[in-house]
Structure 1
Amino acid sequence: MSYTGQAWKRFEDPRLVTGMGVFVDDVKLPGMLYVSFLRSPHAHARILSIDVSEACSTPGVVATLTGEDIAGVLGEIPTRVLEEWEMDELQAPGLPVLAHGKAFFVGQTVAAVVAETRDLARDAVDMIAVEYEALPAVLDPLEAAKEDAASLHEGMGTNVFMRKFHDRQGSGLDDAFAQADRIIRQQYNVQRLAPLPLETRCCVVHYEPDEDQLTVWSSTQSPHRYRGMLANALDRAPDSVRVIAPDVGGGFGEKQGLFPEDIAVGYLSVVLERPLKWIADRQENMLTFHGRGHTADVEVAVKNDGTILGLRLRNVVDGGAFVGNSTTTPPYTSSHRIMGPYKIPAARVEVLGVATNKGPTGAYRGAGGPESAFCMERTMDLVARELSMDPVEIRRKNFISPDAFPYQTATGLTYDSGEYGKSLDLALEMSDYYGWQEKARLSTEIGGPLIGVGVSTVVKMAGAAGEVRTEDAWITIDSGGKVTARTGISPHGQGSDVCMAQVVADQLGISPSNIQVLHGDTDVVPSGGGTGATRGTVVGTSAMYTVAEKARRKLSRIASHLMDCPESDIVFEEGRIYSQLAPDCAKTFAEIASAAYSEELLPPDVEVGLNFQDRFTLSVPYYNPHSFATHVVVV
């Protein structure tokens, strides 16, 4: 029996549905204090003075912290830009832990209060008196992108913090537009939004001065990356910081990085030598991180038969006041992914990241993919309308053919495979697309309800890029046959641990329920890229598969020695290991595992023990494979 791909109950579900889950707010430590933050009410303001005296004199308040207190002590949050992105321009204003001198967006952290209770910390924040001088706010990214626009950050000389071109003039873009029968133009606005995981951003930090060890419980998607960034921000060795991601109540990309509050709480815990807890309220969570915010101008050169010859795109992305951990990711990936499943031979794409007086943006649910898909699919519908053609046939006419793969798009992505026409046909049949089109026409004729029928075809890249296209995995089997797998993937609802257990189970011939999968603790799992960018199965489970193969090979070697048969004859099945030539002489999985710890039972060239580690790295530097889908919607 093969377990991979079969429906299987998630391991965490019984614990979660019975209220036995452990989230960050469930962590309670002796002597714990609580942190609350004062935030700017202004989009842009000069901070003239901060008076914390009333808060400090309040019983139960232990400490306060302002930007002046940590000036020169704590640095800015670094952005993440991969070398292979080869940005044409990049000057990233980093997000400070606490505003000092100026506040640049509503919700920016200005001061912190530490108190004996959460309510007292919140009340004391209201006692801090701040004198602001309001300044003109830069809110329109299109205006901010202009060359003569006033620069938000002194020293930059511009509000454009990043620029990336995909300019393939050699593929005939000018000729494409010269030969076009029609040129169709449209501007698209993809509005900002706030990720809303059920569990807001939060952390508990416990400093142990005797060991100089910092333990952090964080609602994070990427414990190891979080540890590295936090250690760097606090000027500590990474091995002096332990990060634990317990049950995580949603992430959506927001929880891949590090935020000012994490650094401030870590710093204060070290200074006070007390455990601290911070839980963002819903308003704080909505103010301090956003997704999307793109304004895209698209032009396509089209023949009268519906063939698209070329595309121009200028995408202005509202990045907010500072460049956070993943602010540059959606603009860059959207510029690559605009081509979708279509064979468009020539393109010129320019994407600009622009600073405004708004909260920082970053990776959110697709990180540029949904934005580019919206622009491309809406454009396909406009082309169909302009030419009085069926939107389905416009798409079909421009699909990349199945025999063209691997296919490099005009923006430089290499697609590994795709059968877009087959996906489209299946969706049309399943949805009764043309039946609904007829219903919509008849309903309009008789003055009935308006019925809208829409179709879209999209490509989704997976696997991540840069350092996170690599993942490690570990398997340990003890002398009793207990299998423990460890992964750097840190699931929070995806069920990745079940997927990994199924892969290991197929290799070892045991049930997935007999495999323990550990993750989310940097002391238990040595390294990991975390969960995000559709990498959990593509990279993480591939790593688990390779290490499971290692385990199987060693167990096969031991079994063949004990059974005096070739390794190629060994079968793993339902907890039994046997030679296919003598299936009645089987040994249990536990018996072979036990033999692995007895030197006298092993072949002379086999070491005692069953501990395995392996690494998987995607063979391409930037996102592969590329899945695809067709969607039909009736409104």
Structure 2
Amino acid sequence: MPGSILGNAVVRVEDPELLVGAGAFVGDLPADGLLHAAFVRSSVAHGRVLSVDVSDARTQPGVVGAFTAADLELPAFHGLAVLNADCARPPLATDKVRFVGEPVAVVVADSAAAAVDAAEAVVVDIEPLPAVVDPEAALADGAPLQFEELGTNLAAGLGARADDALAGADVVVRGRLENQRIAVAPLECDAVAVHPATDGTVTAYVSTQMPHLWRDTVTRLFELDPGQLRVITPHVGGAFGGKAGASAEHLVVVAVARRLGRPVRWVQSRSENLVAMHGRGQVQYGELGLRRDGTITGLRCRIAADAGAYAGFGGALALGPTRSMAQGPYRIPTISYAAAAAMTNTAPVGAFRGAGRPEATALLERLVDLAAFELDIDPVELRRRNLLGADQFPFRTAMGTTYDCGDYQAALDEVVRLAGYDELRRDQAERRSRGDHVQLGIGVSTYVEVTAGGGGSEFGAVEVHTDGTATIRVGTSGHGQGHATSFSMIVADRLGIPMEAIRFVQSDTAVVPRGGGTGGSRSLQIGGNAVGAAADAVLVQARELAAAHLEAAPADI
């Protein structure tokens, strides 16, 4: 195939199925004898569970079962990552509830409506306890404790290595910024359907970013052999970090499906989603030191991260990605950085779009803008004076992060040119001088982004069939990012096979043996390279086979 397909516009291969309504999500999948689960949830943020009575719910029309934590005896677990090993979460609340919306019981019925109706018959007696919903308040003396035995709401933290970051500065600008907690709100809420078989095997259809991690979590908690659980992720209607790992509801559905010996499905309602799937949540104190000429001399950061209940892994983002990206694209000689992840009586915090990295940018860029105002230097010019130079790469930041390459000055110059920045500033000044009712705001931001921060490897395989078509198998799990198109372009470029002749397979643990899933901007970098390497290996084999048939040297093919 002449030239390269890479870098050119192509027709996306994954869209037609969705555009004509042929794509299936977890909530669309049929099953004989399918049962539906509905959860009973806490209406208080913090309280002692005195009793959960499901007896009336069990007598309601269509109900097959109603279960409490005592009925299922499920082990406590952690989410995607462990922030504090002592704060494991029971899938159904046991002695205490620690946030509004925490599941305390589950009802299973022959229709979703019957399950929801019967859930209203469950009687829950909770003794309210004082609650704390703000991370700073949670760290204060005398704050209500989630886990009394720990004596603190501090889930994890790190101290500053240097505390003289502002020494020698002519000017220091300070700010308190709240990167507020947000609801992830994917178009498709959380969903899982678990189909047990009579031989003890289980097939689970789950809306997740990481099917292999989901399998590993479930098999470990239920003491299953990995071969006993097949995980399939059909189309996923958005995730944005909120569908990483197994949730409490997933584990409960697995338990009741195995117990009843029938397929059980749970599809989260929008109301449930809005109180359960959260991200962000940082209170940031920043101080930026500069000389009068605008040269940055140092940065001091103090971060209070909201982990929510049970030390949600999102609290760890302030200790990891936010810290690693604190320097941004600038020359900052010294940085003092400290962070504390606090437990609050709110939904456990997870990841959302960038997972700690945009929080670092928001803090640093706001401080740079404050400095530009204080020093009366144009915001673009102040950034120009402090950007890392193209000759400084590879560069190791004060946080220990290595930047491989870049030309930040050229990137800023080009965006200024394309935006017509100088003309915009003139227009802004004229509007202000005239006192126009419609004013013009101009925002400037520069940032650097880490991708595939966790590193690691990925499964990628390419098989060429006798009819000239090819199949790609990969351990990433795309849900709208365009993986099928991107990976097919790589194979088409390497092997010269038309994209329409390439089949893309993902998100099925029975046919893809391992995978890291999708998250942290890793898929094209790690998965794409794995697919590219597999295609190269196929090309080597093809040359060797052709050489053998043609009685030629492989190098001549």
Q: Under a length normalisation based on structure 2, what TM-score does the superposition of the two structures give? A: 0.97
Q: Which residue of 2 aligns with 1:62?
A: 64
The CA distance in 2 between the partners of 1:459 and 1:492, in whole Å, is: 25
Contact kept, 8 Å, 1:91 with 1:161, in 2: the verdict is no
Q: 1:518 aligns with which of 497, 501, 505?
A: 505
Contact kept, 8 Å, 1:192 with 1:292, in 2: the verdict is yes
* AA of the residue aligned to 1:146: A
Alignment map for 1:215-614 (pairs within 5 Å) = 215-324=203-312, 327-329=315-317, 331-448=319-436, 449-465=438-454, 469-570=456-557
List runs of 5+ in structure 1 lacking aligned partners. 82-86, 571-635
Aligned residue pairs total 554
Q: Which residue of 2 aligns with 1:18?
A: 20
Q: CA deviation at 1:137?
A: 0.7
Is the aligned partner of 1:197 residue 2:199? no
* AA of the residue aligned to 1:161: A
Deviations 1:459-494 (A, max 9, x none): 11102315xx21011122233333111000111111
Q: Secondary structure at the match of 1:179?
A: coil
Q: Secondary structure at the match of 2:453?
A: coil
The CA distance in 1 between the partners of 2:314 and 2:232, in whole Å, is: 21
Q: Secondary structure at the match of 2:447?
A: strand
Deviations 1:138-192 (A, max 9, x none): 112112113553432121111110112452x3xxx62x52311112211110111
Q: Secondary structure at the match of 1:256?
A: coil
Contact kept, 8 Å, 1:138 with 1:152, in 2: the verdict is no
The CA distance in 1 between the partners of 2:470 and 2:158, in whole Å, is: 47
Contact kept, 8 Å, 2:47 with 2:127, in 1: the verdict is yes
The CA distance in 2 between the partners of 1:464 and 1:484, in whole Å, is: 28
CA distance 1:378–1:10, shift in 2 (3 Å): same
Q: Which residue of 2 aligns with 1:74?
A: 75
* AA of the residue aligned to 1:354: A
Contact kept, 8 Å, 2:185 with 2:277, in 1: the verdict is no
Q: Secondary structure at the match of 1:288?
A: coil
CA distance 1:188–1:38, shift in 2 (3 Å): same
Deviations 1:528-564 (A, max 9, x none): 0011110111000000111111100110111223233
The CA distance in 2 between the partners of 1:246 and 1:444, in whole Å, is: 54
The CA distance in 1 between the partners of 2:369 and 2:470, in whole Å, is: 53
Contact kept, 8 Å, 1:92 with 1:162, in 2: the verdict is no
* AA of the residue aligned to 1:273: G
Q: Which residue of 2 aligns with 1:611?
A: none
Q: Secondary structure at the match of 1:454?
A: coil
Q: Secondary structure at the match of 2:544?
A: helix
Contact kept, 8 Å, 1:35 with 1:118, in 2: the verdict is yes
Q: Which residue of 2 aligns with 1:612?
A: none
Deviations 1:383-434 (A, max 9, x none): 1111111111111111111111111111111000111111111111111111
The CA distance in 2 between the partners of 1:325 and 1:266, in whole Å, is: 23
Contact kept, 8 Å, 1:3 with 1:502, in 2: the verdict is yes
* AA of the residue aligned to 2:451: A
Deviations 1:585-629 (A, max 9, x none): xxxxxxxxxxxxxxxxxxxxxxxxxxxxxxxxxxxxxxxxxxxxx
Deviations 1:310-331 (A, max 9, x none): 1111100111011345552354
Contact kept, 8 Å, 1:166 with 1:411, in 2: the verdict is no
Q: Which residue of 2 aligns with 1:623?
A: none
Is the aligned partner of 1:6 residue 2:8? yes
* AA of the residue aligned to 1:24: V
Q: Secondary structure at the match of 2:234?
A: coil
Q: Secondary structure at the match of 1:29?
A: coil
Q: Which residue of 1 aligns with 2:196?
A: 207
The CA distance in 2 between the partners of 1:196 and 1:223, in whole Å, is: 20
Q: Under a length normalisation based on structure 1, what TM-score does the superposition of the two structures give? A: 0.85
Deviations 1:274-298 (A, max 9, x none): 0001000001011112111100111
* Higher gyration radius (CA): 1
Is the aligned partner of 1:109 residue 2:111? no
Alignment map for 1:137-152 (pairs within 5 Å) = 137-152=131-146
Contact kept, 8 Å, 2:131 with 2:144, in 1: the verdict is no
Q: Which residue of 2 aligns with 1:125?
A: 119
The CA distance in 2 between the partners of 1:350 and 1:5, in whole Å, is: 42
Q: Secondary structure at the match of 1:149?
A: coil
* AA of the residue aligned to 2:90: P
Structure 1 stretch displaced more, 277-286 or 46-55: 46-55
Contact kept, 8 Å, 2:318 with 2:341, in 1: the verdict is no
Q: Which residue of 2 aligns with 1:154?
A: 148
Contact kept, 8 Å, 2:157 with 2:319, in 1: the verdict is no
* AA of the residue aligned to 2:168: Q
Q: CA deviation at 1:70?
A: 3.0
* AA of the residue aligned to 1:21: G
Contact kept, 8 Å, 2:277 with 2:350, in 1: the verdict is yes
Contact kept, 8 Å, 2:306 with 2:315, in 1: the verdict is no
The CA distance in 2 between the partners of 1:95 and 1:325, in whole Å, is: 12
Identity %: 38
Contact kept, 8 Å, 1:77 with 1:233, in 2: the verdict is no
Q: Secondary structure at the match of 1:559?
A: helix
Contact kept, 8 Å, 1:177 with 1:183, in 2: the verdict is yes
Deviations 1:243-283 (A, max 9, x none): 00001111100011111100000000100000001000001
Q: CA deviation at 1:8?
A: 1.6
More strand by share: 1
* AA of the residue aligned to 2:98: F
Q: Which runs of 4+ in 1 moved over 3 A?
A: 147-150, 324-327
